[in-house]
Chains A and B, each alone.
Chain A
Amino acid sequence: MGGSVPRNAAANFNRNPGSAWRHLDLLLLGATIAVACLGVLMVFSATRSTVGQAGLASTTYLVRQGIFVALGVGVMAVTAFIDYRHYAGLAPLFYGGCILLLLAVMSPLGTTVNGAQSWFAVGSFQLQPAELTKLATILVLAALCSQGTGPLTGRTVVLALAAVGLPSALILLQPDLGSALVFVAAVAAVLFVAGIQPRHLAVLALLGAFGVIYIFGYSSYLDTYQRERLTTFVSNNAQNNASFQVRQAETAIGAGGVTGAGLFQGTQTKLKYVPYQQSDFIFTVVGEELGFVGSATLLLLYSAIAWRIWRAAAVARDMFGTLLCVGVLGMLLFQIFENMGMTMGIMPITGIPLPFMSYGGSSTIMMFAAIGLVLNVHTRRFA
């Protein structure tokens, strides 16, 4: 993939570095930071009473998520500042590093949380390589698929699938089905916009269908717990634990009503009826405490973010920029829809964080980095 730096990139960047910043997408930036701030508040609300019981300061999670957001904004500045076209060349390096981390996390160096060996413990913080790999993979995909002109060749499609398949497989081994699915969403979006040929698309769709049937029907990959979580929203079995989680999450959101119970006032939240509230089920806190007004506002902010990313993809001056934004959009949309859909009972339960809301350093920082790249593409649309 050498020599993938687009034409004119270095020249423009060097000649007039300041000019691009006049085109900074303030709406995208504002909406992102607004969501992240709301996220910090919601993480605080979800954890203030529980950590208190555990003997920690009630602000423990507030402070930590605040730090993550601050770090994220910093990383975003970096990814937005350096001309994105440089990243095309760096992508394979970044990608290779992530693969190594994924391999390492499977070794005894990794830590197991909630049954998945997905983390490195670094001091009191934890690093989740899968999150970083998402962004690296999107970069590699965008670089790969923006080479050449015209419809994608079969070779490119196969390479793209391989680039996604390797990290997905490693992540599935952790096992972390949800994160693996994010890759599928991202690659699908990128391949589609890059111009995949209809026959390739048909073959992929068929393969995908068989894959799903195999995993659910025949393979021993999913253990009972995961199968339960995934199928609860279809089977509506009132007995299992997963359906209890869904019912409690739905109850929390529904109980919020139009105006919500008020910040820190949700009983479902305070009394720990909803599991993983600060992470995967953070949206239930918004739903219960801020009500429809708060939830719809959040949805509106996400819509604004998605729209601005889509717009960046549309106005990008080159295919690499477009595909980069499309990859980020695919990832973001999938995570938002899957996560919120799961808490509202219209999607199966998988452990995927809600972008900028869920507690977690790796995810938050990676998401900021991704938005930084989109800002980057947008600001340099004329240069």
Chain B
Amino acid sequence: MTADSPRLRLGVIAIIALSLFAALFARLWYLQVLSAPDYQLKAQANSIRIVPEPAPRGRILDRNGKVLVDNRASNVVAIDRTKLTEKERPELMARLSTVLGIPAEELDKKLDSKQVSPYTPVPIAEDVGEDKMTLLLERADQFPAVVARRVAVRTYPMQSLAAHILGYVAEVNDNDRKEFPRQYELGDMIGRTGVERVYEKDLRGRDGELKIEVDAEGRPVRVVSRRPPAQGHDVVLTIDADIQRTAEEALAQGLKSAQGQPFVDPKKKANARLVADAGSVVVLDTKGSVEALASYPTFDLPALADGVSEAEARVLFPPPDSKETPAFVNRALQGLYAPGSTWKLITADAALRTGLINQNFSLVDNGTYITPGDCTGRSCVRHNAGSTAYGRVGVSRALSVSSDVFFYTLGANFWTNRHDPKYGENAIQDVAGQFGFGTQTGVPLPEATGRVLTKELKNALHQKDPRLADAGWYTGNNVNLAIGQDAMLVTPIQLANAYATFANHGDRYQPNIALRIQKQDGTVVTAFGPRKFAHVDIPPNVWNPIMQGLEGALTDPKGTATNAFAGFPLKQWGIAGKTGTAQATPKQDTALFAAFGPTADPQHVVTVVMEQSGFGASAAAPVARRVFEQLAGVGNTAPVQFTRANGAGD
């Protein structure tokens, strides 16, 4: 060691000190100069929380402004099971029980519910008081996994009225999020069916956003900014709540009174009893606005406001092999039926239009018809309903009394003359297509397409599956076609729209379900006018005899619906209509009735279709009458009654 070694050693100390300061300085430079933007973002992400404030959905109103669907605010306390450990659970349940005033066992039971996906928070209390909500939010650390939020819950001032039309809302699922990419967060509500679904975009509104600064424990310190939620727009429907109610009640009463009535099954010798378990009513104004759609059986709509439980799902969507009638199907739009004699409108139009007959043509109907030409065997002999003989009938009277023999003859004659270019092979089907059968009506709700059978379609069906149809097209097929049988499928709304087209002298509209979208203050956002879709030229020599026949169905002493409308002021408020009774093997016959009025200036079309209910004249016409009474302002509150068939019935 030299004498100046302490100085040397101090030098070493100085170098160490310098390097330490240099290291600190370098790190400081890195953090505060080079990486500052990153850290600033991190600090912000730390302290800013964005709390969405769900926007209440728009309301759904009837055409007169009556509220069908509304909202109310509800404070919901839910538990996120993914964030709750078994260890914490008993203590949490005890605390929640004290705060909410609900026994712990009850909370436990709700928490174990298997009806809620394990990944979505399970609601354990609804309509919780504000003070309790505040307490839960402030002491979030003591209530792990507890989600307390304010939600808008759908309310239904008219209960289940128009349940099928309105539909319900539910939390978004994976399918919804696929259909509307990037628009929904888990836990958001979405219209699942009906108008709620179709007008989702208008009804939804825009969620608000609360930006709050929180401290390290997640406690809110201050509100940074707030964008208030904007309620969705109201949808004003074309539905008239009063007519809707009448239609639903009349349908339910009609089915009830039909149940147990004798049903003469021509195939089975023994007398059976009518089942009458389902049906639908369509009320359409002649410009295409749907005024009412009733479908039976219906369901408890308010019960779905808090989500669809397993039990509810079983009623709504029974498994395909079950005997339950699915309540959720809107039969007015999705039910598929053979149209039966209501189809005679089409056949008559085709025959008059093509000149196969004129209004003076008549034949003698002795109640029995033998299929000419290529038909062999017993099935070639056909009868009117009840084998009633109507004597000499023209087209008008054939419609009024529903003479099958008359229309069988037309069907056969069309086929016989198919090589004449005036008719062709599809003379009836072509007219059916012009009246809208076989294509969707365009009503903005899910609807079935139906099917007008042609030779080509029948062969195609046979190719696909020989059990669906045999090959080829024979006279017998055309004969069946003429009276709306033989694998023909129509929806009640198609039937209504076809009769509306006739009532309009050929103007065919796409039915509307909504009149307009409007803001809360009533400002119109979008108005939906009548959507004229096509025009069928119906010259007077075609229109007049058919109209006469349809009026006769209610006024002719032998008219099929005359009994059902006995006492109705037809002189002041005339109605033209057609009954139908369609075979629906293996089920019992479908009862149908399609009509419009007032005949002086047709405004409304009503179709009633009732499954397993026998004659249209007995079951369906009385239901339609009740609706017409409402439309015509005729007071009547007596329950709808199954009516004895007038002669043959049909």
- Contact check, A287 vs B13: say whether CB atoms are below 8 A apart: no
A276 contacts the other chain (CB 8 A): no
Which residues of B in the span 115-155 have a Cβ within 8 Å of any Cβ on A? none
B387 contacts the other chain (CB 8 A): no
Stretch at the interface among A94-102, A338-346, A372-380: A338-346
Which residue of the partner chain, among B25, B42, B216, contacts A271 with CB atoms under 8 Å?
B216
B638 contacts the other chain (CB 8 A): no
B84 contacts the other chain (CB 8 A): no
The answer for the CA separation of A333 and B215 in the assembled complex, in Å, is: 34
Which residue of the partner chain, among B6, B28, B213, contacts A193 with CB atoms under 8 Å?
B6
Shortest beta-carbon distance, B15 to chain A, in Å? 11
- Contact check, B46 vs A254: say whether CB atoms are below 8 A apart: no
When A151-B1, A271-B213, A344-B31 are in contact, do A256 and B36 touch as well, CB less than 8 Å? yes
- Most chain A CB within 10 A, of B24, B35, B40, is at B24
Stretch at the interface among A20-28, A124-132, A298-306: A298-306
The answer for the CA separation of A272 and B216 in the assembled complex, in Å, is: 5
Interface flags, A317-338, vs B, CB<8A=1, else 0: 0010010001001100100110
- Contact check, A195 vs B5: say whether CB atoms are below 8 A apart: yes
| Residues on B with beta carbons closer than 8 Å to the beta carbon of A250 | 31, 39
B47 contacts the other chain (CB 8 A): yes
A46 contacts the other chain (CB 8 A): no
- Contact check, A273 vs B32: say whether CB atoms are below 8 A apart: no
Interface residues on B, range: 35 or more
| Residues on A with beta carbons closer than 8 Å to the beta carbon of B95 | none
| Residues on A with beta carbons closer than 8 Å to the beta carbon of B16 | 333
- Contact check, B216 vs A273: say whether CB atoms are below 8 A apart: yes
A251 contacts the other chain (CB 8 A): yes
When A254-B38, A257-B40 are in contact, do A287 and B214 touch as well, CB less than 8 Å? no
Nearest CB in chain A to that of B43: its residue: A255
B600 contacts the other chain (CB 8 A): no
Determine the main DSSP class of B at the interface with A.
Answer: helix
Shortest beta-carbon distance, B7 to chain A, in Å? 7
- Contact check, A333 vs B17: say whether CB atoms are below 8 A apart: yes
- Contact check, B32 vs A295: say whether CB atoms are below 8 A apart: yes
- Contact check, B46 vs A341: say whether CB atoms are below 8 A apart: no
When A192-B13, A257-B32 are in contact, do A299 and B24 touch as well, CB less than 8 Å? yes
- Contact check, B1 vs A344: say whether CB atoms are below 8 A apart: no
A267 contacts the other chain (CB 8 A): yes
- Contact check, A193 vs B32: say whether CB atoms are below 8 A apart: no
- Contact check, B13 vs A310: say whether CB atoms are below 8 A apart: yes
Shortest beta-carbon distance, B22 to chain A, in Å? 10
The answer for the CA separation of A306 and B20 in the assembled complex, in Å, is: 11
- Contact check, A299 vs B9: say whether CB atoms are below 8 A apart: no
B27 contacts the other chain (CB 8 A): yes
- Contact check, A258 vs B17: say whether CB atoms are below 8 A apart: no
| Residues on B with beta carbons closer than 8 Å to the beta carbon of A258 | 32-33, 36
A78 contacts the other chain (CB 8 A): no
Nearest CB in chain B to that of A334: its residue: B20
Nearest CB in chain A to that of B24: its residue: A340
| Residues on A with beta carbons closer than 8 Å to the beta carbon of B9 | 192-193, 195
| Residues on A with beta carbons closer than 8 Å to the beta carbon of B46 | 248, 251, 267-268, 271, 273
Which residue of the partner chain, among A256, A257, A341, contacts B23 with CB atoms under 8 Å?
A341
B51 contacts the other chain (CB 8 A): no
The answer for the CA separation of A255 and B31 in the assembled complex, in Å, is: 8
Nearest CB in chain A to that of B215: its residue: A271
When A272-B215, A344-B31 are in contact, do A326 and B13 touch as well, CB less than 8 Å? yes
The answer for the CA separation of A333 and B23 in the assembled complex, in Å, is: 12
B465 contacts the other chain (CB 8 A): no
- Contact check, A344 vs B40: say whether CB atoms are below 8 A apart: no
- Contact check, A314 vs B32: say whether CB atoms are below 8 A apart: no
A291 contacts the other chain (CB 8 A): yes
A105 contacts the other chain (CB 8 A): no
Which residues of B in the span 623-643 have a Cβ within 8 Å of any Cβ on A? none
Interface residues on A, range: 35 or more
| Residues on A with beta carbons closer than 8 Å to the beta carbon of B36 | 254-258
| Residues on A with beta carbons closer than 8 Å to the beta carbon of B17 | 306, 310, 329, 333
- Contact check, B213 vs A267: say whether CB atoms are below 8 A apart: yes
- Contact check, A195 vs B20: say whether CB atoms are below 8 A apart: no
Nearest CB in chain A to that of B35: its residue: A254
| Residues on A with beta carbons closer than 8 Å to the beta carbon of B50 | none
- Contact check, A256 vs B21: say whether CB atoms are below 8 A apart: no
Nearest CB in chain A to that of B47: its residue: A267
| Residues on A with beta carbons closer than 8 Å to the beta carbon of B14 | 310
B10 contacts the other chain (CB 8 A): yes
When A271-B213, A306-B21 are in contact, do A252 and B10 touch as well, CB less than 8 Å? no
Which residue of the partner chain, among A193, A248, A302, A314, contacts B21 with CB atoms under 8 Å?
A302
| Residues on A with beta carbons closer than 8 Å to the beta carbon of B213 | 267, 271
Which residues of B in the span 452-471 have a Cβ within 8 Å of any Cβ on A? none
A189 contacts the other chain (CB 8 A): yes
- Contact check, A299 vs B33: say whether CB atoms are below 8 A apart: no
- Contact check, B43 vs A272: say whether CB atoms are below 8 A apart: no
- Contact check, A295 vs B28: say whether CB atoms are below 8 A apart: yes
Interface flags, A172-195, vs B, CB<8A=1, else 0: 000000000000000001001111
Which residue of the partner chain, among A273, A296, A345, contacts B25 with CB atoms under 8 Å?
A296
The answer for the CA separation of A293 and B221 in the assembled complex, in Å, is: 29
- Contact check, A193 vs B31: say whether CB atoms are below 8 A apart: no
- Contact check, A310 vs B10: say whether CB atoms are below 8 A apart: yes
- Most chain A CB within 10 A, of B27, B31, B35, B214, is at B31
The answer for the CA separation of A337 and B18 in the assembled complex, in Å, is: 11
The answer for the CA separation of A74 and B37 in the assembled complex, in Å, is: 44
Nearest CB in chain A to that of B11: its residue: A314
The answer for the CA separation of A272 and B221 in the assembled complex, in Å, is: 11
A115 contacts the other chain (CB 8 A): no
| Residues on B with beta carbons closer than 8 Å to the beta carbon of A248 | 46, 216
| Residues on A with beta carbons closer than 8 Å to the beta carbon of B32 | 253-254, 256-258, 287, 291-292, 295
- Contact check, B24 vs A255: say whether CB atoms are below 8 A apart: no
The answer for the CA separation of A291 and B24 in the assembled complex, in Å, is: 14
| Residues on A with beta carbons closer than 8 Å to the beta carbon of B21 | 299, 302-303, 306
| Residues on B with beta carbons closer than 8 Å to the beta carbon of A336 | 20, 24
- Contact check, B10 vs A313: say whether CB atoms are below 8 A apart: yes
A55 contacts the other chain (CB 8 A): no
The answer for the CA separation of A271 and B214 in the assembled complex, in Å, is: 7
The answer for the CA separation of A333 and B18 in the assembled complex, in Å, is: 10
B375 contacts the other chain (CB 8 A): no
A150 contacts the other chain (CB 8 A): yes
Which residues of A in the span 103-153 have a Cβ within 8 Å of any Cβ on B? 150-151
The answer for the CA separation of A313 and B14 in the assembled complex, in Å, is: 11
B217 contacts the other chain (CB 8 A): yes
B534 contacts the other chain (CB 8 A): no
| Residues on B with beta carbons closer than 8 Å to the beta carbon of A340 | 24
Shortest beta-carbon distance, A17 to chain B, in Å? 28
- Contact check, B27 vs A346: say whether CB atoms are below 8 A apart: yes
The answer for the CA separation of A257 and B44 in the assembled complex, in Å, is: 13
The answer for the CA separation of A251 and B40 in the assembled complex, in Å, is: 7
Contacts A333-B17, A341-B27 aside, 8 further interface pairs with beta carbons under 8 A come to A192-B12, A194-B6, A254-B38, A267-B44, A270-B221, A287-B31, A310-B10, A346-B23
- Interchain residue pairs with CB less than 8 A apart (22): A194-B6, A254-B32, A254-B42, A255-B39, A257-B32, A257-B37, A267-B46, A271-B213, A271-B216, A273-B43, A295-B28, A296-B28, A303-B21, A306-B21, A310-B10, A313-B13, A319-B6, A333-B20, A336-B24, A337-B24, A341-B23, A344-B28
Using CB atoms and an 8 Å cutoff, list the residues of chain B in contact with chain A.
Answer: 1, 5-7, 9-10, 12-14, 16-17, 20-21, 23-25, 27-29, 31-33, 35-40, 42-44, 46-47, 213-217, 221
CB-CB nearest 3 A-B residue pairs = A254-B39, A257-B36, A255-B43
Using CB atoms and an 8 Å cutoff, list the residues of chain A in contact with chain B.
Answer: 150-151, 189, 192-195, 248, 250-258, 267-268, 270-273, 287-288, 291-292, 295-296, 299, 302-303, 306, 310, 313-314, 319, 322, 326, 329-330, 333, 336-337, 340-341, 344-346
